[in-house]
Amino acid sequence: MNSTATARAPLTELSQPPPAPKFGLEFDDRSFLVARGRGFIGRNPTPPAGEQTTHLVALTDPTGSLSRTHLEFGIGTSGLWVRDRHSTNGSEVEVDGHRTFLEPGRAVRVRPASTIHLGGRRMRVRAVDSRAVTNAVTVEWGAATHAGAGRERNQDTFGTRPPVFVVADGIGSHCAGDLASRAAVQALLDLAQRQQVTEEAIDSAFADARARIARIPVSDGQRHPGTTLSGVIVTRFDGVPCWTVVNLGDSRTYRLDEAGLHQISVDHSIGQKLIDDGLIASAGSVPLRNILNRALVGDVAHSPDVWRLPITVGDRILVCSDGVSSAVDDSTIRRVLESIRDPQEAAEALVDSATHAGGRDDVTAVVVDAVAISPRP
């Protein structure tokens, strides 16, 4: 992204038409991607020689029900299509509870809310919005998440319902981290129903999140569920559009503007506390540096940090779990955000970079662009 050129855009609505509808694929481990071009799914998918491929999705399969290259998918003029690649155990499309076997080699169009069964694995088709006008700001966004290596379930959850864009990362040392992160995001997304999001409304949303998490059942001897949460809410303050940044835990919110990349949120961790106290310069080699001293849990009312920053056309926000920030350094994050204009592609590139860096944690990135601001009537 050329942030300088973008920032000089006029403060009016964009004249180009809205982007074409997008289709998201959510897998049963809660990994998620937006389908672009053509892709293949399987244990170790391989595209036909010499053919262009956008996605190669490798799924773990302890039961051996997936073929090496099991399913193909792509975007055509009529939307999303899938094709079974003559797999050993076949593929099925489920719509409204009715399952239909896919004839091998035949491309079939699928619609949102469908579920594709690939052997013992599943993926759900979702419609994905990526552009909206909220509080006089035109925003575009993209999001991607991937389960950590060897993990059965992704404990990260993201929410992109304007004006709210948040990421939550369930605490791995507690039980039901995936349920806690989902409950927290759902509570924050309820703010999208309000005409005006005030600090009191944000406090109420966090209280609701704690209450939802407290209702998650736990077995005797298990630690109560908990999660981090970070993100932005597009608001107005004294008539000025603002990013209202919220944070609790060590997921992060960054801002890229003409001045460069800046981490807005501050980690609530032992490592960050030692840095703040001047005892160390970097937490990279400190034992237990990732232990949280504040998080979103049901039985303790930790207060979130809240910042309010005026929005400038050309701003790019990154919200991510620590699976990104712990695996990818700030210089790489900045390079990706500056070089990839499309926010969906930027989010996917960051998730890919973190995944290929060897980290075993769940990885989630949400990228939000402020592309225009409407003048006040």
The per-residue pLDDT of the chain, averaged, comes to 88
Within 13 A of 38's CA, how many CA atoms are on the CB side?
11
- Residue 88 has what pLDDT? 94
**Alpha carbon 348 to its chain's center:** 9
Asked if residue 359 has pLDDT above 90, the reply is: no
Helix axes 199-214, 177-189, angle to 10 degrees: 150
Q: Which CATH architecture has domain 22-128?
A: Sandwich (2.60)
Listed range (110-114, 280-284, 318-322, 354-358) with the worst mean pLDDT: 280-284
- Residue 276 has what pLDDT? 61
State mean pLDDT over 231-252. 95
Name the pLDDT band for 340 (thresholds 50, 70, 90): very high
Encode pLDDT of 269-328 as tens digits.
776 666 565 555 555 554 455 678 889 998 888 999 999 999 999 999 999 999 999 899
H helices of the chain, where?
3-7, 177-189, 199-214, 270-276, 322-325, 330-339, 343-356
- Residue 218 has what pLDDT? 82
Asked if residue 8 has pLDDT above 50, the reply is: no
State mean pLDDT over 175-203. 92
Tokens of 265: 């949120």
Q: Report yes or no: 167 and 144 within 8 Å, Cβ to Cβ.
A: no
Encode pLDDT of 46-105 as tens digits.
998 888 899 999 998 888 999 999 999 999 888 999 999 999 999 999 999 999 999 999
Q: Does domain 131-373 have CATH number 3.60.15.10?
A: no
CA distance 147 to 44: 16
Q: Residue 82: beta bridge partners? A: 73, 108
- pTM, two decimals, is 0.85
What one-letter code names the amino acid at 194?
R
Question: Domain boundaries in the chain?
Answer: 22-128, 131-373
The dihedral over CA atoms of 172, 174, 177, 183, expressed in degrees to the nearest 10, equals -140
- Residue 217 has what pLDDT? 87
- Residue 7 has what pLDDT? 33
Q: Report yes or no: 62 and 50 within 8 Å, Cβ to Cβ.
A: no
